[in-house]
A = this chain, B = another copy of it.
Amino acid sequence: MISIKEVTKQTGITVRTMRYYDQIGLLHPADKTEGGHRLYGEKEMKKLQEIQFLKTIGFSLQEIKEMLADENHDWFTGLKKQLGYISKEKERLEQIEGTLRGLINEIMLNGNIDLFSVQKLIQLYQQNMDKREGYLNQIFNEEESKLLQNLPNINRDDPETLEWIALIAQLKKHMSKGISAPEIQRLIKRMYEKEQETFGDNKEFVEKIWDIRKSPQKSESAGFYPIDAETLDFFEKAYEFYVKKKSNF
């Protein structure tokens, strides 16, 4: 028989928690002193461990109470149900994670931001979730849809996406130096090569994407990350410049 203090020492569980478990009938002390101090035995400590474990796998105290009370509890079914629940929750968090990464990337692209811009981004996001796929499937054929998967999807966390964002952000930063500046041309070169790597010679496909990018409305419908018109225009000119120079050799 050990005191409540000993329990907290051995398990890290607080006194309040032990009192609470007693109160809700989840775990009563084995005995009490004359004065009413709680005393716990070996059995209780084991049960406490079980409770802790069942808590870590996401069961509520009420559920745990019922499970431990029922001699013939169907653990298999219970655990499968719990697994289903946990899996769903996990998927929800994965969704959220993707959305957050998307928003963060967009802010990285646009620089920090006032309430108004965030409102616009949020609206864009909500639209996209509903419409993006529909819109894209309408424009691209099946084969191209697969290629689209390779597009830097702003929700994703892969280094591919990050490099695109970094490249565009750098482009914006050095825009004032003009399209022929060596910094710019180095960036464009990298982008050109990346494009080749990703889409190969699929000219027509790349054209379609440019077409979408050039129209803010289309761009919004497609859920591409918003590059402002100025940057887009600058990029296009710098790109042409690069290609022309390249073909001169």
Contact = CB atoms under 8 A, between A and B. Distances in A.
Interface of A: 46, 49-50, 53-54, 56-58, 68, 71-76, 79-80, 82-83, 86-87, 89-90, 93-94, 96-97, 99-101, 103-104, 107-108, 112-115, 118-119, 122-123, 125-126
Contacts of A71: 114-115
B93 A86 contact: yes
Given A71-B114, A125-B53, A126-B53, A82 B100 contact: yes
Contacts of A80: 104
Contacts of A100: 57, 79, 82-83, 86
Query: 10 smallest A-B Cβ distances: which pairs?
Result: A90-B93, A83-B100, A76-B107, A53-B122, A79-B104, A57-B96, A86-B96, A86-B97, A76-B112, A58-B96
23 contacts: A49-B122, A49-B123, A50-B122, A53-B125, A54-B122, A57-B103, A58-B93, A58-B96, A75-B107, A75-B118, A76-B104, A76-B108, A76-B112, A79-B103, A79-B104, A79-B107, A82-B100, A83-B97, A83-B101, A87-B97, A89-B93, A90-B90, A93-B93
